[in-house]
Chains A and B, each alone.
Chain A
Amino acid sequence: MTKIAIENPLEAYAVRLGDDALVLGHRLSEWSSNAPFLEEDLALSNVALDFLGRARMFYSYAGELRKDGTTEDHYAYQRDCREYTNLLIYELPRGDFAFTMARQFMLDVFNLAFLARLQKSTDSSLAAIAGKAVKESTYHLRRSSDWIMRLGGGTEESLRRLQDAVDELWGFTPEMFTMDELESDLLAEGVAVDRTALHDSWDSQVRSTLEAAGVTIPDASWQVDGGRRGLHTEHLGHLLSELQFVQRAYPGLEW
């Protein structure tokens, strides 16, 4: 496996956004043929495809910036855990259905606001990708917020599972609003999105939906981060071992 150094900040930014999308797309695709019922199976698989498509756009753009023939496949298949820079919340195992939908809801609210701002990026390629993706996120959010209400208002068990999911996820959410040096520099150029500015409206929207669903918002007494620095949970390695298996067993295979 040839390692490539990512030194261009713009490439690194595109790869981050691609990593987020790919890892979530993979988690969602794990529901294919495993969802609670057929319609949900189709829906989750389709949402997974949207994220996979985003990953391809971000990775392809990153590869173009290098001008050395690096393709989307390189980023997806030839990097190890420590080179992946997705946020931790994206890589957590899919859990039960309530966990998958609670995470999806939190990310959909975030992504809709994030992409709306990325559409105004001074980088026209990132803006174009965001313009494509923001329309899809509108649909995703409508569906995931609907599920939050149904799980919350369903049975004691569905509410309990939803509550457990929110408790487990809450400490992973601050990382979404954290800026590091790379993103701050790109923000100064008008390329990146200011994540910190997205927090308050995310917080109030997520709280109001969860509370309407009967969920108690946890005390944010703990939080973890590290994804952007390549410091991941143990789960990412297992995910990659499945996602990358064929390319590792048969390097460069095409069909």
Chain B
Amino acid sequence: MAASQTIALMPAEQYAVEQARRESAHPELWELLDAVKDPEIPVLSIWELGILRGLKVEGDEVVVIITPTYSGCPAMDAVAEDIVSALSAAGYTRSRIEMQWAPAWSTSWMSPEGREKLRNYGIAPPGEQALCCPHCNSPEVELVSEFGSTACKALYRCQSCLEPFDYFKNL
């Protein structure tokens, strides 16, 4: 990376996961899983969202390690099924999901690209200095509800363009 570029600060646990992916002996499996999207936010892959934490191959079995966003997130079962079927479709018929609780998922694991995709999808991304409307970029917004359509989002309304929008909460 050139010295003039801004280097985004990345939490150590996220760096470790990304390094594990870079050094993995099975890059094709990681790429395969890039096709698995979050069922509630189909523009983001489970990798971009920070749900996918690792994978390993034990004999002829693929073990995929994931972590939930919120402890009661009902999308996790669907994510696990999607992973198994994506692997199965590519010929990896034996796979298993391992659920990891610690370190607890954090929105700080989400990549800058992931945040941009969220914004383009109409969801204000987490962790920004000033919360702006994802439609018109106005900072004049008001909170409607601490919880939006899912546990990980809050509901806001833009006072400039009057559109309601979801905000992906900082966690």
Contact = CB atoms under 8 A, between A and B. Distances in A.
Interface in A30-78: 39-40, 42-43, 46-54, 56-57
Interface string B117-155: 000000000000000000000000000111111110001
B151 A143 contact: no
B101 A57 contact: yes
Contacts of B169: 139
A42 B154 CA distance: 10
B91 interface: no
Contact of B72 (A42, A43, A53): A53
A132 B144 contact: no
A129 B99 CA distance: 12
B65 to A, nearest CB: 14
A53 B70 contact: yes
A183 to B, nearest CB: 22
Contacts of B148: 42
A187 interface: no
Q: Per DSSP, are chain A's interface residues mostly helix, strand or loop, or mixed?
A: helix
Interface in A106-145: 124-125, 127-129, 131-133, 135-136, 139, 142-143
Contacts of B73: 49, 53
A43 B71 contact: no
B101 A46 contact: no
Interface residues of B, number: 22
B68 A53 contact: yes
B41 to A, nearest CB: 16
A124 B100 CA distance: 12
Nearest to B144: A39
B143 to A, nearest CB: 10
B102 A50 contact: no
B55 to A, nearest CB: 20
Contacts of B74: 49
Contact of A129 (B101, B144, B171): B101
Given A42-B147, A43-B145, A143-B146, A50 B70 contact: yes
Contacts of B68: 53, 132
A53 B75 CA distance: 12
Nearest to B155: A39
Contacts of A53: 68, 70-73
Nearest to B146: A143
Nearest to B171: A135
B59 interface: no
Given A53-B70, A53-B72, A54-B72, A46 B104 contact: no
A46 B102 contact: no
8 contacts: A39-B155, A42-B145, A43-B147, A46-B151, A49-B72, A57-B101, A139-B169, A143-B147
- 6 residue pairs, one from A and one from B, having the closest CB atoms: A53-B72, A53-B71, A49-B72, A128-B102, A39-B145, A43-B147
